[in-house]
């Protein structure tokens, strides 16, 4: 469960009060499920990071191998039996860079670095209230809140930490806005979506721009309140989501031109999550309202070349009707298969759906609690991100 704003924070507290914290944290054994195999291209498979509930130490890691069709649950615990608390508390992001797998574990205040082939721990890097990561030229960049998980108007500005991917040491940090979220590199600049989600209605509304050479903030782009998602397309444009205030200011999606660092377009659609594959952005529009105490959900596509919303949904009706709580989204860059997750009731194992590029459901499989973040494993080591 995310800890980015007051809605998720209160939901987490309610969950904890009902269930109580686990005092007997045990390693959950690995489980295997045989699914239809995929055609192996340059993609061998993917890791799926399950967030788990806050204060429950239930973050977990799954892996789907394309060639064998074997889906392995809880691979981290099997690979690291000495880690008695498992992967940790709230898995917030995951990515592969070179031969290493990086998992951001938010409420455990750490980045777990693992061997990409075995998921065996290489190192733990301490980063206070870390959120998301990206890479460029041998460096990892991690956004962090730099504060406790608590509502209020006194929280400190967040920061981005630069990590050398060879030594795995933090080399530099730079201050950004309050509660920074997703980040992306375009050219020699790092972009950071600031939320200010701990202090409603006093939200942040900027994307911070960091010069990677000097590692200093050079600009703040005014966008909208409570920013979250931030993805770059192949042309260097940024797609940035605003979660709004859950009352009268709805969620929206904005486009930033990184040549001028200005907002050039916007879309009046909810955007809880998105991924960009080729020329298409796949958008989960899942928006909660405190006015109606209900959710509005849609599954949209956007042509990023023409910046045009497409009419059709990217999910077949039988899948969208079955999903209770849409959460994670990824698209295989070669096959265009869509992977989408259902977090269900947030306290039970979730579900992963695979939809092929003809709109057919290839398989469904049970995951860990709150399946959320994907990292595709490629045959060839990719380091130029």
pLDDT in tens, 81-140: 999 889 999 999 999 999 999 999 999 999 999 999 999 999 999 999 999 999 999 999
- Residue 245 resides in a domain: yes
Query: How confident is the model at residue 153, as a pLDDT?
Result: 77
Q: Does 196 map to a domain?
A: yes
Q: How high is the mean pLDDT of the chain?
A: 91
Is position 219 within any domain?
Answer: yes
| Residue 16 pLDDT grade (very low, low, confident, very high; cuts 50, 70, 90) | very low
- 67 pLDDT above the threshold of 70: yes
Strand order, beta sheet including 130-136: 130-136, 139-144, 159-164, 170-175
Instruction: Tell me which residue range forms the domain holding 165.
Output: 127-314
Q: Please give the tally of structural domains in the chain.
A: 1
The mean pLDDT of 304-328, rounded to a whole number, is 96
In CATH, what number is assigned to the domain containing residue 174? 2.130.10.10
User: What is the distance between the terminal CA atoms of the chain, rounded to a whole angstrom?
Assistant: 28
Give the whole-angstrom CA distance, residue 376 versus residue 337. 12
Report which DSSP code applies to 15: H
Is 168 a member of any domain?
Answer: yes
| Residue 50: pLDDT over 70 | yes
- The predicted-structure confidence for 181-202, as pLDDT tens digits, reads as follows 999 999 999 999 999 999 999 9
**Residue 298: inside a domain, yes or no?**
yes
Do the Cβ atoms of 207 and 225 come closer than 8 Å? no
Q: What is the pLDDT of residues 363-384, one digit of tens each?
A: 999 999 999 999 999 987 555 4
Residue 275 lies in a domain: yes
Nearest CA to 133 among 100, 92, 98?
92
Overall average pLDDT of the 138-157 stretch: 88
Q: For a pLDDT cut of 70, what percent of the chain falls above it?
A: 92
382 within some domain: no
Question: Residue 99: inside a domain, yes or no?
Answer: no
Average pLDDT estimate for 62-69: 97
CA distance linking residue 75 with residue 21, whole number of Å: 23
Query: 């269930």: which residue's tokens?
Result: 19
- Is the distance from CB of 77 to CB of 60 less than 8 angstroms? yes
pLDDT digits (tens, 9 = 90+) for 24-40: 445 678 999 999 999 89
Q: What angle do CA 311, 257, 262 make, to 5 degrees?
A: 115
| 295: confidence class by pLDDT, cuts 50, 70, 90 | confident
């Amino acid at each position: 469960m995310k800890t980015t704003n007051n809605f998720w924070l209160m939901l987490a507290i309610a969950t904890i009060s009902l269930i109580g914290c686990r005092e007997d944290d045990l390693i959950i054994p690995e489980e295997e499920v045989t699914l239809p195999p995929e055609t192996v291209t340059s993609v061998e498979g993917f890791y799926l990071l399950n967030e788990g509930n806050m204060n429950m130490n239930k973050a977990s890691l799954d892996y789907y191998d394309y060639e064998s069709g074997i889906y392995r649950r809880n691979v981290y615990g099997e690979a690291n039996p000495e880690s008695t608390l498992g992967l940790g508390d709230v898995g917030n992001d995951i990515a592969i860079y070179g031969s290493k797998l990086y998992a951001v574990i938010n409420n455990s205040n750490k980045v777990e670095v693992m061997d990409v082939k075995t998921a065996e721990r290489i190192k733990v890097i301490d980063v206070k209230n870390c959120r998301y990561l990206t890479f460029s030229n041998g460096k990892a960049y991690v956004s962090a809140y730099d504060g406790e998980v608590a509502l209020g108007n006194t929280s400190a500005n967040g920061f981005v930490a630069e990590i050398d991917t060879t030594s795995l040491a933090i080399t530099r940090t730079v201050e950004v806005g309050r509660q920074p979220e997703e980040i992306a590199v375009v050219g020699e600049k790092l972009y950071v979506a600031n939320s200010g989600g701990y202090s409603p209605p006093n939200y942040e509304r900027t994307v911070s721009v960091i010069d990677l050479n000097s590692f200093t903030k050079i600009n703040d782009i005014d966008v909208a309140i409570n920013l979250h998602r931030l993805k770059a397309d192949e042309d260097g444009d940024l797609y940035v989501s605003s979660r709004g205030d859950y009352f009268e200011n709805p969620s929206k999606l904005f486009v930033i031109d990184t040549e001028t660092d200005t907002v050039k377009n916007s879309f009046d659609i909810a955007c809880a999550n998105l991924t960009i594959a080729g020329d298409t952005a796949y958008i989960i529009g899942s928006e909660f309202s405190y006015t109606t105490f209900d959710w509005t959900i849609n599954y949209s596509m956007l042509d990023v070349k023409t910046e045009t919303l497409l009419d059709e949904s990217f999910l077949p009706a039988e899948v969208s009707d079955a999903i209770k709580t849409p959460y994670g989204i990824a698209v295989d860059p070669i096959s265009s298969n869509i992977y989408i997750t259902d977090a269900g009731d947030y306290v039970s194992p979730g579900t992963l759906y695979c939809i092929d590029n003809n709109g057919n459901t290839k398989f469904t499989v049970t995951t860990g609690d709150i399946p959320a973040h994907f990292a595709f494993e490629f045959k060839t080591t990719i380091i130029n991100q």
